[in-house]
């Protein structure tokens, strides 16, 4: 029988996974609506804990004040990059004149970004609660404790990186790194969730060979990660094109980013094929209410939403509502694949004595 304290950890860990996905959704909404600079400072918003709703609530010199603050923070960031040997990158940060261009106040964008920050703070709170709850495994599974606190370190770094996103005026590679760190948080949280759930259970045994499934599922996960990375590069290219066109001619943006979009589309086809093969292999090996089969069913559902949202983005001029959906379900798809792999990893083929 599992102790109540262990069940509490499992529940908190699951909530943390859900909140992480909600933060990713919030980030997608911020990016698709162009609200990233809705708050020109960090962690407050216009130096307030509750953002303003009207220009009259802002100080008269707010534009000059926040530009000066961003320049100062960027200089410190460039110094860090130089110490790491990234001299060219540091120079590009210093030469970027876009940070000297003030953002016009927009209440909708300000509150969109503020809600995104609240979601991030909520994630930090649940990661902290999960870490505290993990002490129940101090004697039985130290890796759960270690990884739970490792996630705290990641989210602290993520928060700092969020301030750099603002100070660098949404420099694309910084935004992408900010998003990919959320993937790391997900990986760790899913691992600790599954490890805690399976801690007192024996490995599953089936009558079929499982090695091919393990290997092909691992390959599918790698392809999915590649697809997510390509997707971030496509998004960066779209950002560049949209800014160059002053956010007009939306129906031409996809055509202007060239081969990168073609690669992203072709890899998407491969992802769909690989997941279909994985699903067939799972169906052949598991039946009834087996958790791997249930997880595989959810994978196919997430894949369907991902494909539909991708088609909307490709053929209907990148509708803003489809962008965060596409981003969210790419992470949901990965999460389910990774969870399925952890389940399959603990499954063995029956060996008669």
Could you report the per-residue pLDDT of 275-302, keeping only the tens digit for each? 999 999 999 888 877 889 999 999 999 9
CA angle 238, 261, 182 (to 5 degrees): 65
- 126 and 17 in contact (C-beta within 8 Å)? no
Instruction: Identify the helix (H) or strand (E) that includes residue 98.
Output: none
| pLDDT (0 to 100) of residue 205 | 64
Tokens encoding 125: 């709170």
**CA angle (278 as vertex; 271, 321 as ends), nearest 5:** 40
- Of 217, 186, 221, 233, nearest in space to 328 by CA: 186
Quote the tokens at residue 299.
């994978």
Q: Which tokens hold the place of 206?
A: 């089936």
Rounded-to-integer distance, Cα 280 and Cα 298, Å: 14
What's the Cα-to-Cα distance from 185 to each of 7, 29, 162, 191, 268, rounded to whole Å? Answer: 21, 20, 15, 10, 24
Fold of 203-353: 1.20.120
Residue keyed to tokens 């660098």 = 168
Please tell me the predicted confidence (pLDDT) of residue 290.
Answer: 85
How far is 188 from 330, CA to CA, in rounded Å?
17
Coil/strand/helix, residue 14: helix
Least reliable range by pLDDT among 66-70, 96-100, 265-269, 341-345: 96-100
Confidence of residue 200 (pLDDT cuts 50, 70, 90): confident
Per the structure block, which two tokens stand in for 68?
């000066």
Q: How confident is the model at residue 170 (pLDDT cuts 50, 70, 90)?
A: low
- Determine the pLDDT at residue 351: 66
The two tokens of residue 38 are 């809705």
Tens digits of per-residue pLDDT, 257-281? Answer: 878 888 888 899 999 999 999 999 9
| Domain-wise residue ranges, the chain | 1-201, 203-353
Which pLDDT score, from 0 to 100, does residue 25 have?
Answer: 92
H helices present in the chain, as ranges: 4-32, 62-83, 87-95, 107-133, 142-167, 172-198, 211-244, 253-256, 259-285, 291-315, 322-345
Task: Give per-residue pLDDT as tens, 36-64.
Answer: 777 877 778 888 888 888 888 887 777 77
Q: At what angle do helices 107-133 and 142-167 cross, to 10 degrees?
A: 160
Of 119, 135, 167, residue with least CA distance to 16: 119
Residue 1 binned pLDDT confidence (cut-offs 50, 70, 90): low
User: Quick one: tokens of 142?
Assistant: 């130290």
Task: Report the largest interatomic distance among the alpha carbons of the chain, rounded to a whole angstrom.
Answer: 82
Of residues 274 and 85, the one with the higher pLDDT is 274
Residues 99 and 80: their CA atoms lie apart, in Å, by: 18
What is the model's pLDDT at position 233? 81
**Which of 26-30, 86-90, 339-343 has the weakest average pLDDT?**
86-90
Each residue of 20-42: pLDDT tens digit? 999 999 988 887 887 777 787 77
Element (H, E) at 205: strand 204-206
């Amino acid at each position: 029988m599992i102790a109540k304290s262990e069940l509490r950890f499992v529940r908190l860990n699951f909530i943390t996974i859900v909140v992480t996905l909600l933060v990713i959704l919030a980030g997608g909404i911020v990016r698709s609506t162009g609200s990233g600079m809705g708050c020109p400072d960090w962690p407050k918003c216009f130096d307030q804990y509750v953002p303003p709703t009207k220009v009259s609530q802002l100080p008269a010199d707010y534009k000059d004040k926040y530009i000066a603050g961003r320049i100062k923070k960027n200089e410190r960031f460039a110094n860090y990059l130089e110490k790491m040997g990234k001299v060219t990158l540091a120079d590009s940060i210093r030469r970027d004149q876009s940070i000297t261009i003030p953002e016009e106040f927009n209440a909708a964008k300000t509150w969109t970004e503020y809600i995104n920050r609240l979601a991030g703070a909520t994630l930090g709170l649940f990661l902290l609660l999960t870490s505290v709850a993990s002490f129940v495994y101090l004697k039985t599974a130290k890796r759960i404790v270690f990884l739970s606190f490792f996630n705290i370190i990641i989210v602290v770094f993520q928060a700092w990186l969020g301030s750099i996103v603002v100070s660098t005026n949404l420099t694309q590679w910084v935004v992408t790194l900010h998003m990919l760190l959320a993937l790391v948080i997900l990986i760790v949280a899913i691992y600790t969730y599954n490890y805690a759930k399976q801690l007192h259970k024996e490995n599953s045994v089936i009558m079929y060979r499982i090695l091919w499934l393990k290997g092909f599922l691992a390959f599918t996960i790698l392809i999915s990660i590649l697809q997510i990375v390509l997707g971030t590069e496509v998004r960066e290219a779209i950002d560049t094109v949209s800014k160059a066109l002053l956010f007009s001619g939306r129906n031409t943006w996809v055509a202007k980013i060239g081969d990168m979009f073609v690669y992203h589309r072709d890899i998407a086809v491969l992802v769909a094929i690989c997941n279909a093969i994985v699903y067939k292999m799972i169906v052949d090996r598991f039946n009834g209410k087996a958790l791997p089969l249930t997880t595989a069913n959810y994978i196919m559902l997430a894949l369907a939403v991902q494909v539909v949202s991708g088609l909307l983005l490709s053929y209907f001029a990148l509708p803003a509502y489809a962008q965060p959906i596409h981003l969210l379900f790419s992470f949901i798809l990965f999460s389910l694949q990774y969870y399925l792999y952890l389940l399959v990893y603990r499954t063995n083929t029956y060996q008669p004595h």
